[in-house]
Amino acid sequence: MFIGMLTLTLKIDDAFSLKARRNKVRSLKDRLRPRFNAAVADLSENGIVYNRALIGVAVISGEQKHTDEQLQQILAFTDKLGEFVLEDVKEEIISI
């Protein structure tokens, strides 16, 4: 079994308040979960910065290749949305 993890640091140019940031992040999470069957969490520190977000994504698969493909698809989907600027991406796959 393989666990794939992505940590995405996103810049949200059109978020000028914490409420706007939360709405954008919630929208992203709601799109990623069902589309990729992934666990998604907002890892940002509350109230610190309103135009940046730290998102954690995890997927599980029986094959390493499938896990890597899922992570790449999630990354491409997030980038393609155009609502965020990907500032940093960390990817890790763990074999259990």
User: Considering the chain, what is the average pLDDT of its residues?
Assistant: 91
Beta strands across the sheet bearing 52-61? 39-42, 52-61, 2-11, 85-95
In this structure, what token pair is assigned to residue 80? 């393609």
Query: For residues 67 and 93, is the Cβ–Cβ distance under 8 A?
Result: yes
Q: What percent of the chain has pLDDT over 70?
A: 97
Residue numbers of the domain that contains 45: 2-95
Residue 76 CB contacts under 8 Å (≥ 6 apart), including other chains? none
Residue with tokens 């990907």: 86
CATH number at residue 50: 3.30.70.1120
Q: pLDDT digit string (tens) for 18-50?
A: 888 889 899 999 999 999 999 999 998 766 678
Residue with tokens 């992040």: 25
In this structure, what token pair is assigned to residue 32? 């990623």
Domain count of the fold of the chain: 1
